[in-house]
Amino acid sequence: MEKACFSVPEFKNIYLKLQRAVSVSGKSQSTLTNYARCLSHITLYFKCSPLDLDEEQILDYLHVLKSKNKTPSESFFKHTVYGLRYLYRIYDLDVKRIVLPAIKRSKRLPVVLSQKEVKQVLKTPKLLKHRLILALLYGCGLRCFELRNLELKDLDFDRKTLHVRQGKGRKDRYVPLSIILIRGLKRYITAEHPRRWVFNGNDKTGKAVPLSTRGVQWVVREARKHSGIPKEITTHSFRHSYATHLLEMGLDIMSIKELLGHADIQTTLVYLHVAQLGRQKPFSPLDKLYS
C-alpha cells in the first residue's frame, strides 16, 4: 500500500475512496485489506493508476497472474478481479467491469481432520493459551478473524454460550461453549489476566490489541508440525472439521448453517460431500474382497 501510494500519488485518493465505499456498504475490514493489497500490486506493476489501464492491459495482467512460474493463490487472483470490479463500480466504469472474467465457485472439498487427529493436534501445544486457540477454532467453528476479535464480554459461562460479534457479512451469532473450554478459559483468565480481548497481541506502546492473524497462523502451523499429521492444516481446517463432525454426530444441516453463520445454505451443503453419512458407512471394495 505505502509503496503504491509513493510510486503513484493518485493511488492514495483511490484508496481513500475505496475505504469510504467499503465502510458505507458495511463490508468487513478484511475485504478492504484484500482489495487494497491486490489493487496496489497492479498499480506497482504498471506504475500508474488502475483507472488508467485499458481492457488489454487488464487482461494481460490477469494472464500474467495465471501463467507465471510462481502462480499466485486462487484467493489473490479472485480478490484482484473483485477489487477491480468494485473499483470500477465506484467510479461508474461499467464498460471496464464487463471485460473482467467471472469467478467460478471452487469445487474443491475442504480438508477435514478425523476426531483422533483433532485430539492429537489439541494436545500438542505446551502453552494453555495455544491449546485454547486451537480448541476455540474447532469447538466453536470460528473463523480466524472471529477468534482474534473475541472479547471477554463475549464469554457467557453461565449460559455456556459464546457471542460471535460482527462475523462475516456483519452478522452476529451465538454458539455453544463446551464445558471443557469453559474450564480451560477460566484457568487461562485467572493466570494471564487478559485485557479486553481474550487473546491479546503484542504492542510496543503497551496498548491492548488483539492477537494478530500471523500469531494465530503460527500457533496452527507449529501444532501441525509437532503433531506429525501430514495433512495441510490451516486455521479454517478446524472450522471444516467442526461442521463435518457435527453432521456426523447427527446435527441437522440447517442448525449447522446457523452455527457457522452462513448466509447461503449452498455453502453449508458442501459438508454433505465429506461427512460419512447414510444407512451404511461407505467402504472400499478391497475390504470386502479380502474379508
Q: Is 75 in a helix, a strand, or coil?
A: helix
pLDDT score for 154: 95
pLDDT tens per residue, range 24-43: 887 777 888 889 999 999 99
Residue 8 host element (H or E): none
pLDDT at 9 exceeding the cut of 90? no
Say which of 41, 143, 148, 240 is annotated catalytic.
Answer: 143
Asked whether residue 278 is assigned to any structural domain, the reply reads no
**Active-site residue 20, yes or no?**
no
Q: Compute the distance between CA of residue 253 and CA of residue 258 in angstroms, rounded to an integer.
A: 9
Query: Within a 10 A sphere around the Cβ of 121, how many other Cβ atoms?
Result: 27
Q: How many domains does the chain have?
A: 2
pLDDT score for 283: 66
Residues 10 and 94 in one domain: yes
Asked whether residue 168 is assigned to any structural domain, the reply reads yes
Task: For residue 125, name the pLDDT band (cuts at 50, 70, 90).
Answer: very high
**Active-site residue 221, yes or no?**
no
pLDDT at 63 exceeding the cut of 90? no
pLDDT at 105 exceeding the cut of 60? yes
In the beta sheet, which residues pair with residue 175? 162
**Which of 99, 128, 163 is the C-terminal boundary of a domain?**
99
pLDDT tens per residue, range 43-62: 999 999 999 988 888 888 88
Q: Considering only residues 231 and 166, tell me which one the structure prediction assigns the higher pLDDT.
A: 231
pLDDT at 203 exceeding the cut of 80? no
Q: What does the block give as the cell for 28? A: 468487513
pLDDT at 164 exceeding the cut of 90? yes
Say which of 15, 86, 138, 271 is annotated catalytic.
Answer: 271
In the beta sheet, which residues pair with residue 291? none
**Active-site residue 85, yes or no?**
no
Asked whether residue 153 is assigned to any structural domain, the reply reads yes
Residues 95 and 145 in one domain: no
Share of the chain above pLDDT 90, in %: 46
> What's the domain range around 90?
2-99
Residues 25 and 133 in one domain: no
Residues 155 and 87 in one domain: no
The CATH number covering residue 239 comes to 1.10.443.10
pLDDT score for 169: 67
Beta carbons within 8 Å of 199's beta carbon, 6+ residues apart: 129, 132, 133, 147, 148, 150, 210, 211, 215
Say which of 130, 239, 240, 257 is annotated catalytic.
Answer: 239
Q: Compute the distance between CA of residue 256 and CA of residue 265 in angstroms, rounded to an integer.
A: 10
**Active-site residue 236, yes or no?**
yes
Q: What is the mean pLDDT of the chain?
A: 87
The CATH number covering residue 18 comes to 1.10.150
Task: For residue 4, name the pLDDT band (cuts at 50, 70, 90).
Answer: confident
The answer to whether 138 touches 241, Cβ cutoff 8 Å, is yes
pLDDT score for 244: 93
Task: For residue 275, name the pLDDT band (cuts at 50, 70, 90).
Answer: confident
Q: Compute the distance between CA of residue 174 and CA of residue 61 in angstroms, rounded to an integer.
A: 43
Task: For residue 70, name the pLDDT band (cuts at 50, 70, 90).
Answer: low
Asked whether residue 247 is assigned to any structural domain, the reply reads yes
pLDDT tens per residue, range 204-233: 766 778 888 899 999 999 999 999 999 999
pLDDT, average across residues 132-156: 94
Say which of 168, 173, 221, 231 is annotated catalytic.
Answer: 168
Asked whether residue 279 is assigned to any structural domain, the reply reads no
pLDDT score for 201: 82
Asked whether residue 17 is assigned to any structural domain, the reply reads yes
Q: Which of 204-208, 255-259, 273-277 has the highest mean pLDDT?
A: 255-259
